[in-house]
A and B are shown apart, each in its own frame.
Chain A
Amino acid sequence: MADEKRTARAQKDGTEKKSKATKKDGSRHADADRSTDTVSAEGKAEARRHSVEKAETRAKATAKRKGLRKLTGLDRDGLLGMLERMMLIREFEEQCANLYRAGRIRGVTHTYQGQEAVAVGTCTALRIDDYITSTHRGHAHVIAKGGEVDLMMAELMGKATGYCKGRGGSMHIADMTRGILGANGIVGGGMGIAVGAALSSKMLGRDTVAVCFFGDGAMNQGILHEVSNMAAVWNLPVVFLVENNLYGMSACLEDAMACPELDLAKRADAYGMPGVTCDGMDVVDVYLAAKEAVERARGGGGPSYVVCDTYRFLGHHVGDPLSYRDKSEVEPWRALDPIPRLGRQLVADKLATQAEVDAVDAATRAAIARALAFAEASPDPDPSNLTEDVFA
């Protein structure tokens, strides 16, 4: 019965939507195994194929895109800056994984390869005094918001010079001077903080905006409903930025979310907010969607949802055996890698030569190498300062 309802709803949604992709989306569950309440392995595989096909269709449509400056309103430096930040994130995460495997980083660390367009596209739409709250997969958000990679690397290596003096590690980096209100070790833990920062903006008469980053997995945390509702009731300047990478740790959307066939941005309807979905593998598309949402919030137009369809190339954390997803599903996503994609577009748009793109790449690698050297040369925290800043 529940399945019939779900299918009917999906089909209704499919017929209402104009895009071919969504029609296909809407009908796919009709063919799925109905013997259980959960979606069959075959159904899930089909859903995965559909996700990447949708992303490929978007990529094709924008591959020959010209006039990036006019489209985005960003100058050449701004566009190259997005490339640089994405490359910086990629290299940071690669080195982070190496360090982890070498036993130089403790605990767990969650890397972001594949999702760079989301953090960078969003934060490019923000001012330095705007706020973000980040997640357990938060290195990229910090870098995209202008965080300093040497202090980050030192924190990951547990050094006294790290952002948090070695007290927090990977999941707690914050930079109060740049509005970075912290990564978070609790899924959904930062949502209230973002909305609170938006409330401050409103009460203090500032025009700052807060962006709340979280993933599809966190969409099932109760506090999201609470603060979405509050943000809407109080018309607060906050953007709920969903990174839909299709998995919450090992749980795919189909296993974890009711109505997985529906666009996640429809959640916003429940609060009377605008909700849009964009191509999370395309930094320009993310930037345009984020910019619209941020400008709306800044102008007093209230909160909204922006869903970025994306994919993490690697595991939930370094060392994840990836038992829950088929290897074959990764390659098509890697072909949509947001970094070469922007590089190609900049070259095609004659905003940069390939040599200039390569030079940015080399410069970011050098910057991360310097960060590593800084971290390695930094002292461990002194245990005689163990309880510094412990007030209660």
Chain B
Amino acid sequence: MSGTATGNAAATGAAATLTYVQALNEALREEMERDPTVFVMGEDIAVWGGGGVFGVTKGLLEAFGPERVRDTPISEAGFTGVGLGAALTGMRPVVEYMYADFMMVAMDQIANQAAKIRYQFGGKARVPLVLRTQEGAGRGNGPQHSQSLEAWFCHIPGLKVAIPSTPADAKGLLKTAIRDDNPVVFLEHKLLYGKKGEIPAGEHLVPFGKANVLREGRHVTVVGIHVLNDMALEAADILAAEGIELEVVDPRTLVPYDRETVAASIRKTGRLIVAHQAPERAGIAAELIQCAIEDAFDYLDAPPVRLCAANMPVPYAKSLEDAAMPQVADIVAAARRLMSGSSVVGTRS
């Protein structure tokens, strides 16, 4: 193998404040130093801008060389298959797609091949393959660069699906994904790359299937995906002044999904909002709400609410894009509606 690990990622020392993108970079660097079979490949990840269009792979080429930081031709289906073949034969590839939308080009390799191999080969093959990308709206990238596609991947048995929404989780979940012997679809969000947060000191791994309660509250549970968590926290600040307390739960991974933490929250609040930037129709919110109905029906004081994108392509112009996506005001309004008639607060909307 060419490329010598000369990076200076330190899994030691005090907690540090990093951006989401720096946290991802640190995860890749640490795992590549730890395990020589880990390598990254994708379009424009090595040479472009010194580390990809979003900078996630910044500095890795210099640290690990072009064999392990591999720019690919523009061939999503092809390099997904190549990553899969490498995973089957001793490597641990981390394949990057510049935009989640581009993964649609590779769906045969993802859904028919990678997801099914371990099961259909009688459990005799392992597929340690990470498929990383960023999704979501909010930057005016238009209909083919702004989709949120998590539901597609959740629907295919054989894929784990991670959705980090904090820098600490970005690092800890990515390291866990790389060490997993099964394919993981790792969905980042384009608006989160600049978000800052504290990263715990030392080796930081976040387990899959363990939701994170970002804010505790007594009245309405909000399960958010990606930026909807930040919007929910903002809504919580607004509503706190009215006496309405939101409990914001970040699932962290959708497959596996931590039903228990969400159910426990509903047992406390009796109300549920699920919010995401994917379209409402057959979005993951429908699934999560059904889980809540199965797990905590007797505790629900009102029908659960989903706040999703309109069932339409993501528009380009800011006025249209904002109108198509759920916003902080939508969460605030939905929480007020859920609380209307409650003895806690009066009707406000």
Contact A391 B113 (CB under 8 A): no
Contact call B75/A229, Cβ cutoff below 8 A: yes
Contact indicator B120/A223 (Cβ below 8 Å): no
CB-contacts of B103-144 with A (<8 A): 108-109, 112-113, 117-125
Q: Which residues of B contact A201 (CB under 8 A)?
A: 89
Interface flag for B176 (CB, 8 Å): no
| Cβ of B295 to closest chain A Cβ, rounded Å | 20
The A-contacting residues of B in range 72-88, CB under 8 angstroms, are 72-73, 75, 77-88
Q: Across the interface, which residues of A come within 8 angstroms of B81, CB to CB? A: 191-193, 195-196, 223, 227
Q: Which of B78, B86, B89, B124 has a CB less than 8 Å from the CB of A223?
A: B78
Whether, in the assembled complex, A186 has its beta carbon less than 8 Å from a beta carbon of chain B, the answer is yes
Task: Specify which of A193, A197, A198 lies most central, judged by the most chain B CB atoms within 10 Å of its CB.
Answer: A193
**A121 contacts partner chain B, Cβ-Cβ < 8 Å:** no
In Å, the complex CA distance between A346 and B35 comes to: 52
Residues in A with CB closer than 8 Å to B89 are: 131, 181, 196-197, 200-201
Complex contact A227–B86 (CB within 8 A): no
Known contacts A182-B117, A389-B119; A203 and B80 CB within 8 A of each other: no
B216 to A: closest C-beta gap in Å: 29
Interface size class of A (residues with CB under 8 A): 35 or more
* Nearest CB of chain A from residue B26's CB, rounded to whole Å: 23
Q: In whole angstroms, how far apart are the Cα atoms of A163 and B125 in the complex?
A: 12
The answer, yes or no, to whether A204 is at the interface (CB within 8 Å) is yes
Report whether B75 and A392 are in contact in the complex, using a CB–CB cutoff of 8 Å.
Answer: no
**Segment of B10-18, B153-161, B232-240, B329-337 engaged in the interface with chain A:** B153-161
Whether the pair A230, B122 counts as a contact (CB closer than 8 A) is: no
B41-69 CB mask vs A (1 if < 8 Å, else 0) is 00000000000000000000000000110
Residues of A within 8 A of B82 (CB): 192, 195-196, 199, 227, 230
A100 to B80, CA, bound (A): 35
Contact A230 B85 (CB under 8 A): no
A199 cross-chain contacts in B, Cβ below 8 A: 82, 85-86, 91
- Interface 1/0s, chain A 154-177, versus B by CB < 8 A? 000000001111011000101010
A389 touches B123 (CB 8 A): yes
Residues of A within 8 A of B85 (CB): 133, 181, 192-200, 210
Contact yes or no, B121 A192, CB < 8 A? no
Q: How far is the CA of A391 from the CA of B160 in the complex (A)?
A: 8
The reply to whether A226 and B87 form a contact with Cβ atoms under 8 Å apart is no
Q: Which residue of A lies closest to B127 (CB)?
A: A391
Contact A176-B124, Cβ < 8 Å, known A189-B112, A192-B77: yes
Contact flag A203-B1 (CB < 8 Å), given A191-B81, A192-B85: yes
Q: Are A189 and B122 in contact (CB under 8 A)?
A: no
CA distance A164 to B124 in the complex (A): 8
Question: Does A205 count as interface, using CB distance less than 8 angstroms?
Answer: yes
CA–CA, A354 and B255, complex, Å? 61
Asked whether any CB of chain B lies closer than 8 Å to the CB of A81, the reply is no
User: A185 at the A/B interface (Cβ < 8 Å)?
Assistant: yes
CB-CB contacts below 8 Å: A120-134 with B: 131, 133
The minimal Cβ–Cβ distance linking A143 to chain B, given in whole angstroms, is 17
Residues of chain A in range 278-337 having any CB-CB distance to chain B below 8 Å: none
Which residues does chain A contribute within 8 Å of B159, judged by CB atoms? Answer: 392
Which are the 6 A-B pairs with shortest beta-carbon distances? Answer: A192-B81, A196-B85, A226-B78, A226-B75, A389-B123, A193-B85
11 further contact pairs, Cβ within 8 A, besides A204-B37, A223-B78, A392-B160: A164-B122, A174-B117, A181-B88, A191-B81, A223-B77, A223-B81, A226-B78, A230-B79, A390-B157, A392-B157, A392-B255
Contacts from B to A (Cβ < 8 Å): 1, 37, 39, 67-68, 72-73, 75, 77-91, 93, 108-109, 112-113, 117-125, 157-161, 182, 255-256
29 sampled A-B residue pairs with Cβ under 8 A = A163-B122, A164-B124, A165-B122, A167-B120, A168-B122, A172-B121, A174-B125, A176-B88, A176-B124, A182-B121, A186-B108, A192-B77, A192-B79, A192-B83, A196-B89, A198-B85, A199-B85, A199-B91, A200-B91, A203-B1, A203-B67, A205-B1, A210-B85, A223-B108, A226-B78, A229-B78, A230-B75, A230-B79, A388-B123
